[in-house]
Chain A
Amino acid sequence: MTSVLRENISLAITGSGGSGMLSAGELLLRTAAKTGFYGLLTRSVGPQIRGGESAALIRLAHYPVETHDDHFHVLLAADWNNFHRFAGEIVLGEDVLVIVDEQAGDLPEMVAAVADEKSILRLPLHALARELDARVNMVALGFLGALLGMEQDMLRAVVQDFFRRKKRDRFIEPSLAALEKGRELAEPLLKARGGPLIATPGKPCRDMADCGARWLISGNRAVATGFLQAGGRFVAGYPITPATDMLEWLAPRIGRAGGLLVQAEDELAAINMVLGASFGGLPAMTATSGPGFSLMVEGLGLGVMAEIPALIVDVQRVGPSTGIPTKSEQGDLQLALCGAHGDAPHLVLAPDCVVDCLHTTAWALHLAERLQCPAVLLSDQKLGQMLSITDAIPPAPWKAERKLKESCAENEEPYKRYAITEDGVSPMALPGTPGCLHTVDGLEHDERALPSSQVEDHAAQLEKRHRKLARLEDWPDEEMAHWADIMGSGEVAVITWGSSAGAAREAVRMAADEGLHARHISLRLLWPPQKNRLARLLEGVRRLIVVEQSHSGQFLHYLRAHYDLPEVVVSCRRPGPRPITPRQVLRALREACEMKETFSERVCT
């Protein structure tokens, strides 16, 4: 146990069914946001449908954080029931402080292995709660709030607000009393340590204008917001973890935003409803996860063939098959890239942090509409369900804008829905446009959209559909700036896509503190590949570390197939749900920096 004030702390709060530890975690995070912290929260739950053991994993810091640290500094357990289920996810640091109910019994092996007796506090958490007719999570919250130096008034206000919103006012009084008991429990420890575990950052917010400087947002909500900001107005979806909460967040809001949401009977219906609405002129999306996305690939191909814009959000979970529904993995890259049968060029993008979920979604919708082509957005459970304290996110600058054909004169030649144009994009006449009647088709067709099995038509239309996307390589850099993110410099580079960027960015910062200079490249646009653009980002790079959360190295194979890579490539990969951590990438960075001999390819774990 150290007494050094940290700028960054990780806490795990666990308990079995009914202990309310997830709520305690969320309330702690909310208070932290008001107190001026940055931070994040992920949850881990057992297999039970409702109740069951759960863990709130929290990180708070004075600077923005995108991912969990390698280990936890504080573990608060209401009991040890089924604790082993979290063992793989809650890696305790050597300086861990363990707080546990005094009745919880013997320490689980994994806790005993790292924590010495001095760092274990056994407290009457349940007993105090029972006395007050309150829940144990409120005692825990009071204790942790005090330990983190949070103002008691702020904590009380957050708790009050929580119960008022839930219309459970009768819980307020006992809960506030339990908070107070928790705070009192922490006093001896605070005294012994000479203060809280982490310094309080900046000024706490007192009014709305102040509080708005920080947002509390999840990746799924950020995706939904980006979609609406860009002008998306139609959503169809079928419930699937971990995408459901995005649909449920949208359902009560999309009407006020001028749109409509439909719960479809399955994912086949969802994607086809989206294509129907988009054919009618409404920018549209569906949100799903791997199993649902698998069902949608035929629709994806139809969108490509019929040139109908659509946004498909895949919030990836561990696969294949039903996999591990509640946990994260970057395993759908290959499916997203190659999914549809035939040569079916479509857009594939991935947001690389919670904040970016908003912006990359808006960009994806913008591109889909502009290129009249489906876009797949690969988010994942980690980004989607992570509740994050961020700076206020500026509105996305991109809008859904489609090149329309607004009328067809009667004496003109017949309207060509799939006219061969220089950039491959043909002006689209929406139903209701006089004179431009046509039938869009999933059959190969000629320029007028009439079915055709002729070699020439197939070749010309294939080429046109391909050209729409290929042209992105020639777009001006300003318009393509969002395609990738680069940070740092040096001969060693780490490259990631999607949520692995968080750990990589942190690793590159830690490496810089050690005097190792490296760059990090995060790709957001995965298809079409931007060969020249990446070449420029890789200029001067001699060793490249490819980081991904995939067993087989899908990203590595994608990079090898479509890009020129430096001589030395290190593949740093692990399957989900174990997260890619900053120190895992740091180790790979250190090795790559020191590497004398030239390996052509190595795997780091």
Chain B
Amino acid sequence: MNRPQQPPKPADYKSGVHPVWCKGCGDFGVLAAMTRAFAHLGLPKEQVAVVSGIGCSGRIPAYVAAYGFHGLHGRALPVATGLKLARPDLTVLAAGGDGDIYSIGAAHFVHTCRRNPDITLIVMDNRVYGMTKGQPSPTSEPDFAAALQPEGPGVPPVDGLLLALASRASFVARGFSGQPNELADIIVAGIEHPGFAVIEVLSPCPTFRPEQREWKRHVQAGLLQPAKTLEEAMAQVIAAPALSTGIVWREERAPAPMMPRPESVKELATMRARELAWIEKSFHP
């Protein structure tokens, strides 16, 4: 294959499958930022895998020209972890909604932060369960009234960034789907980070949270800045308005151990061949 090498364009990373998302959904911006990031990095499409859970946000893998895994509600992170540990040669991203990652999958979020596999997570936060049509999510405001909770949840929302920091994530950032260029930069940094990168994205749901259309007026881009210490990072997240973006934490920490890196898919089988007589010997009395 000696085609002339053109630098890839973001459009090359779109699969052509038509998204199911509503008009104006923030997730379009996330898709745009993701494909820009891939193009910027010039990733070979077949070496990228996007793993997701269930939700409107969870539909994103099929819209990207890459390998994809659309699994179970809440379980994107363990699937992505298994895939990355087995296949260190792949660039693995996980994507999900606020319900997916901070509610049903919250345990995986905490422990994936600790484990630090070399994966980039994108949490599309719309403060609502979009796919199931408008129930409060763990990031919903206490007074967000909905059919299932007519008075609103009445409890404080989860702060995903703070939870990530407390769980010792090695890269923590927030972006906004309405600013796909800044978001693309953050995703590039997340992919280049050798460990688990948590990127929360403010991604409005105009259908069930029409008031989020106003977010674009209030988001303070770049307000979050890489902190020197964990304490500082936490203090920054607590002090900054929820609608602020930027990379707040970056730390060098050994990523979760992986299998040896195969040169190609074909090599996988030969890499596994091992002599196992030593195991049999261990059963001799």
The verdict on A221 contacting B283 (CB below 8 Å), with A260-B258, A269-B78, A431-B46 known, is yes
Interface membership of A438, Cβ < 8 A: yes
Asked if A439 contacts B70 (CB within 8 A), the reply is yes
Minimum CB–CB distance for B67 against chain A, Å:
4
Q: Is the CB of B70 within 8 A of A441?
A: yes
Contact pick for A275, options B82, B84, B85, B283, CB 8 Å: B82
**Assembly CA distance A273 to B119 (angstroms):** 13
Collect the chain B residues with CB atoms within 8 Å of residue A438's CB.
67-68
B 44-88 contacts with A by CB, 8 A: 44-47, 49-51, 54, 61-62, 65-72, 74-75, 77-87
A233 CA / B268 CA spacing, docked (Å): 11
Whether A273 touches B17, Cβ cut-off 8 Å, given contacts A265-B107, A432-B90, A451-B62, is no
- With A33-B285, A211-B285, A302-B72 already in contact, the answer to whether A262 and B85 are too (CB < 8 A) is yes
Contact in complex: B274, A276 (CB < 8 Å): no
Q: Are B46 and A434 in contact (CB under 8 A)?
A: yes
CB distance from A426 to the nearest CB of B (A): 16
The answer to whether the Cβ of B23 comes within 8 Å of any Cβ in the partner chain is: no
Is B147's beta carbon under 8 Å from chain A? Answer: no
A433, B274: Cα distance in complex, Å: 24
Q: Are A432 and B87 in contact (CB under 8 A)?
A: yes
B82-A258 in contact (CB<8A): no
Chain A, 199-238, contact with B by CB distance < 8 Å: what is the 0/1 string? 0000001001001101111000100010011010110100
The B-contacting residues of A in range 242-275, CB under 8 angstroms, are: 253, 256-260, 262, 264-266, 268-275
**Are B81 and A258 in contact, CB atoms less than 8 angstroms apart?**
no
B239 at interface, CB cutoff 8 A = no
Q: Using a Cβ–Cβ cut-off of 8 Å, how many residues does chain B contribute to the interface with A?
A: 60
**Min distance, Cβ A452 to any Cβ of chain B, angstroms:** 12
- Say whether, besides A228-B279, A430-B265, A431-B46, A276 and B285 are in contact (CB < 8 Å): no
B8 CB to closest chain A CB, in angstroms? Answer: 14
Interface presence of B217 (CB below 8 A)? no
CB pair B108 A269 closer than 8 Å: yes
CB pair A231 B272 closer than 8 Å: yes
Assembly CA distance A262 to B117 (angstroms): 12
On whether the beta carbons of B61 and A253 are closer than 8 Å, the reply is no
> How far is A205 from B279 in the complex, measured between Cα atoms in Å?
20
Contact A437–B15 (Cβ < 8 Å): yes
Chain A nearest Cβ from B94, distance in angstroms: 10
- Cβ–Cβ < 8 Å partners of A264 in chain B: 78
Determine the chain B residues whose CB is within 8 A of the CB of A442 once the complex forms: 54, 70-72
A-chain residues with CB within 8 Å of residue B87 when the two chains form the complex: 280-282, 431-432
- Whether B166 is near chain A, meaning CB under 8 Å from some CB there, is no
Which B residues between 92 and 116 are near A, CB-CB below 8 angstroms? 107-108, 110-111
Query: For B72, what are the chain A residues with a Cβ–Cβ distance below 8 Å?
Result: 272, 298-299, 302, 442
Interface size on A, residues (CB 8 A): 70
B148 near A: Cβ within 8 Å?
no
Instruction: Verify B264–A268 contact, CB threshold 8 A.
Output: no
Q: Are B67 and A253 in contact (CB under 8 A)?
A: no
* Contact B17 A450, beta carbon cutoff 8 Å: yes
Q: Min CB distance, B21 to chain A, in Å?
A: 13
Closest to B117 in A: A262
Q: Cβ of B80 and Cβ of A276 under 8 Å apart? A: yes
Q: Would you call A121 an interface residue if the criterion is a C-beta within 8 Å of the partner chain's C-beta atoms?
A: no
Q: How far is the CA of A536 from the CA of B252 in the complex (A)?
A: 64
A339 part of interface (Cβ distance < 8 Å): no
A392 touches B (CB below 8 Å): yes
Say whether B83 contacts A433, CB under 8 Å: no
**Nearest residue, chain A, Cβ from B109:** A265
B276 close to A229 (CB less than 8 A): yes
- A306 engages B71 (CB within 8 Å): yes
In the bound complex, residues from chain A placing their C-beta under 8 Å from that of B44 are 434
Most buried by B among A214, A268, A270: A268
Given known pairs A258-B271, A268-B78, A282-B259, the reply for A406 and B70 (CB within 8 Å) is no
Residues from chain A with Cβ under 8 Å of B79 in the complex: 272-273, 275-276, 279
A437 and B46 in contact (CB under 8 A), knowing A272-B71, A276-B79, A406-B266? yes
Does B280 have its Cβ within 8 Å of any Cβ on chain A?
yes
Given A276-B86, A299-B72, verify A436-B78 contact (CB < 8 Å): no
The answer to whether B81 touches A214, judged by C-beta atoms less than 8 angstroms apart, is: no
| A256 adjacent to B278 (CB under 8 Å) | yes
Kindly report which residue of chain A lies nearest to residue B274, judged by CB atoms: A258
Query: Given that A215-B283, A260-B258, A265-B111 are contacting pairs, would A281 and B268 also be in contact in the complex, using a CB cutoff of 8 Å?
Result: yes
Q: A433-B265, A440-B68 are in contact. Are A284 and B82 (CB under 8 A)?
A: yes
Whether a CB of chain B sits under 8 angstroms from the CB of A40 is: no
Determine the chain A residues whose CB is within 8 A of the CB of B265 once the complex forms.
281, 406, 430-433
Could you tell me the distance in whole angstroms from the C-beta of A358 to the nearest C-beta in chain B? Answer: 10
Q: How far is it, in angstroms, between the C-alpha of A266 and the C-alpha of B108 when the chains are bound?
A: 9
Using CB atoms, name the residue of chain A closest to B79.
Answer: A276
From B268, which residue of chain A is reached at the shortest CB distance? A281
Q: Decide: A211 near B111, CB < 8 A? Known: A272-B71, A279-B83, A299-B72.
A: no
Contacts of B262 in A (CB 8 A): 432
- Give me 24 A-to-B residue pairs in the complex whose CB atoms sit less than 8 angstroms apart, sorted by A's number: A211-B284, A215-B283, A215-B284, A221-B283, A225-B276, A256-B274, A262-B82, A265-B111, A268-B74, A269-B77, A269-B107, A270-B78, A273-B85, A276-B79, A276-B81, A276-B82, A430-B265, A430-B268, A431-B67, A433-B46, A434-B46, A436-B46, A437-B15, A439-B70
Given contacts A215-B280, A276-B82, A302-B71, 8 further A-B contacts (CB under 8 A): A205-B285, A234-B82, A262-B256, A280-B90, A282-B259, A437-B46, A440-B70, A451-B62
Q: Please list the 3 inter-chain residue pairs (A to B) with the smallest Cβ-Cβ separation, ordered nearest first.
A: A276-B82, A439-B68, A273-B82
